[in-house]
Amino acid sequence: MSPSPALRISRVSKHFETGKGRVTAVDDVSLDIMQGEFISIIGPSGCGKSTLMNMVGGLLTEYDGDILLDGKKVSGCQPEIGMVFQEESTFPWRTALENVAFPLEAAGLTRDKRIARARDLLDLVGLSGFENHYPAELSGGMRQRIAIARTLAFEPRILLMDEPFAALDEQTRLLLGDKVVQIQNKLRQTTLLITHNISEAVQLSDRVLIMTFRPGRIKRVIEIDLPRPRSSEMMGSEAFGRYVAEIWQDLREEASKGLHDAEAAARQG
Amino acid sequence: MVAVGQVKSGLRARTRFSRVTIYRIVALVVIIALWEGAGASGLFFRGVIPSSVFVTAALLRLLGDPVFWGHFGVTLFEIVTGFAIGSALGMLGGLGIGMNRYAGQVFEPVAEYLASTPKVVFLPILLILFGIGVGSKISLGAISCFFPLALSIAAAVRNINPMYLRVGQSLNLTLTQRVKMIYLPALTPAIATGLRLGFGIATVGCLMSEIKLSNKGLGHAAMQAYGRFDIPTMLALLIVIFATAALGNSLIGRLIRLPGPTNRRVTHVPR
Ligand SMILES: Nc1ncnc2c1ncn2[C@@H]1O[C@H](COP(=O)(O)OP(=O)(O)O)[C@@H](O)[C@H]1O
Ligand SMILES: [Mg+2]
């Protein structure tokens, strides 16, 4: 008997009613995620990735189909699920340490406990020494690491990350990818990562999901059978390159559909 | 190197401060000179612009007069109480209107109309309700500062970065936690500005009410001096009122500590 999945997404669809009519953002997506598995979702902009994540995270509650956490239907936000958002989300009025301690404060931990825990997490994301800095005094990559540490602080079993490194430059992104690999090796969390970046997806994932451009469906699932741990140095290897090429092949088609659409929309005004 | 930097910036700060002080003193001297010139020019009725010497003398006499301190105490009490009531309700109202879409749709247009109405039109009703004593003054002060504060807080609530709220939602925060841990710190700059504005407006409301009809307070004393054509005393009272409002304003500015790095006195020295 195969073990039951930690998270089951079953025939989930989501439509938005807009002024210009009905938009299907996510169309009949099904996916089983096992405990400890790292899955990346990759697809062109506007294909419904964030919408899917918001449904799994419980921020969007009206949709068709079922999302099951350990076999139980998810309703609203769950303490087992932690989210890292695409947009900047650190609190500018809190120091790095206070930001990471935020969820612990909400959970009612004593001051000493939450500070000790927040220190550990800042250390984990490589930010020890910056405890008393405010977000405005740090770089974008550091702020995003604070956001990740803040989400890890309450030890969610399942981690959802929506393009957490999208706004960063390539070098920072590579280094952060290595950081995520280290954290993943340590915590073995079930993770759903949304990304634009093919090599990031190959480096981090057990499986990569490619989504179609509008309506967002699963086009293909690719198992990444590369030895772990995988640092950014292995990106030069031949096997790595093959996966990247394979994913790009599928993604290219969808991305160009997206481009045509955008051009058509621009021509219409 | 750090030490040198600090000394330098300290010196710069001190020179800048003294330059500002010099300009202020010059401005004051110019204003007093113009005032004296206007008084001596004979363009105005005699006594309408008394010499600043007389005004200063009147001010000193007031400061030694227990009757004046009685009036001062009454007015200060009215302003502080009216401001406290009006701003507390204004903040609550602003949070309510801003956080709840339906409350916003129902109350905001009404609040906007009322905010632009001169509050003194309520005075007859307030006089009937609360009498000519401090009650009518406090209530007019409170009403005056309620509306601008509620509207500015509501606007600031709607301008909060939605990401902060989404983080709160994803962590399942309760309403109390959201208000305490997200709304209030995010709104502190708006609240600080709103309170300073509100204090000025509450002061105007209380004094307006005193001037119209009262038997105590600085506004009443000023009207009495006017009735005696004791212009120096009247001006001295106005100076006291002005100084009180300015002092209150800057006190509020100092008391509210803005969170975050911009407001910190000592800048961070990176390690
Ligand atoms: N609240 C909403 N109302 C209407 N349309 C929406 C809303 N959220 C997303 N959409 C639409 O759904 C589609 C998918 O959006 P999104 O999930 O943000 O895509 P992605 O994250 O893959 O870039 C887009 O076409 C977007 O315009
Ligand atoms: Mg997105």
Is A102 at the interface with chain B, CB within 8 A? yes
Selected residue with higher pLDDT from B18 and A121 = A121
Q: What is the pLDDT of residue B81?
A: 96
Cβ neighbour number for residue B217 with a 10 Å cutoff = 27
Both tokens of B188, joined, read 């502190």
Is A61 at the interface with chain B, CB within 8 A? no
Q: How far is the CA of A87 from the centre of ligand 2 (A)?
A: 9
> What is the pLDDT of chain A when averaged over all its residues?
88
Q: Contact at 8 Å (CB) between A151 and A193?
A: no
List all residues of chain B from 178 to 237 with a beta carbon under 8 Å from chain A: 181-182, 185-186, 188
Q: What is the pLDDT of residue A259?
A: 76
pLDDT in tens, A82-120: 999 988 999 999 999 999 999 999 999 999 999 999 999
Strand locations in chain A (E)? 7-18, 21-33, 38-42, 64-69, 72-73, 81-84, 158-162, 190-195, 207-211, 218-223
Both tokens of A208, joined, read 């990569």
Q: Contact at 8 Å (CB) between A251 and A207?
A: no
Which of B161, B163, B164, B167 to probe the A interface (max A CBs under 10 A)?
B167
Q: For residues B170-179, give the mean pLDDT.
A: 94
A154 to B166: CB separation less than 8 angstroms, yes or no: no
Split at pLDDT 50, 70, 90, the class of B2 is: very low
Q: What is the pLDDT of residue B44?
A: 78
Confidence check: pLDDT of B67 > 60? yes
Reported ipTM: the value is 0.87
Selected residue with higher pLDDT from B7 and B106 = B106
pLDDT in tens, B6-65: 444 545 555 566 888 888 889 989 998 898 888 888 777 777 788 888 889 999 999 999
Q: Which amino acid is at A248?
A: W
Q: What is the pLDDT of residue A70?
A: 87
Q: What is the pLDDT of residue B172?
A: 92
Query: CA A199, CA A208: separation in Å to the nearest integer?
Result: 11
- Name the DSSP letter for residue B120: G
Q: What is the pLDDT of residue B1?
A: 40
Please write down the long-range contacts of B243-246, taking CB distance under 8 Å and 24 or more positions apart.
B244/B75, B244/B76, B244/B79, B244/B203, B245/B199, B245/B200, B245/B203
Of B164, B170, B261, the CB nearest to A77: B170
In this prediction the pTM is 0.82
Q: What is the pLDDT of residue A228?
A: 79
Q: For residues A166-181, give the mean pLDDT.
A: 76
Is B171 at the interface with chain A, CB within 8 A? yes
Confidence check: pLDDT of B264 > 70? no
Confidence check: pLDDT of A22 > 50? yes
Selected residue with higher pLDDT from B18 and B265 = B18
Query: CA A156, CA A151: separation in Å to the nearest integer?
Result: 8
**Per-domain boundaries in chain A:** 88-155
Is A92 at the interface with chain B, CB within 8 A? yes
Quick one: closest CA in B to A88, which residue? B163
Residue A222 β-bridge partners = A208
Query: CA B169, CA B146: separation in Å to the nearest integer?
Result: 30
In a 3-state reduction of DSSP, which class is residue B94?
helix
Q: What is the pLDDT of residue B40?
A: 82
Query: CA B212, CA B206: separation in Å to the nearest integer?
Result: 10
Q: What is the pLDDT of residue B115?
A: 80
B185 to A91: CB separation less than 8 angstroms, yes or no: yes
Residues of chain B contacting A58 with CB distance shorter than 8 Å: 170
Q: What is the pLDDT of residue B262?
A: 56
Both tokens of A98, joined, read 């206070």
Give CA B91 to chain center in angstroms: 15
Selected residue with higher pLDDT from B263 and B153 = B153
A184: Cβ below 6 Å to ligand 1? no
Which of B169, B174, B161, B179 is closest to B95 using CA atoms? B179
> What is the pLDDT of chain B when averaged over all its residues?
85
A256: Cβ below 6 Å to ligand 1? no
In a 3-state reduction of DSSP, which class is residue B37?
helix
Q: Contact at 8 Å (CB) between A96 and A150?
A: no
Q: What is the pLDDT of residue B47?
A: 74
pLDDT in tens, A192-224: 999 988 988 998 899 999 998 878 888 899 999
Find the distance separating the first CA and the last CA of chain A, reported in whole Å. Answer: 56
Share of chain A above pLDDT 90, in %: 48
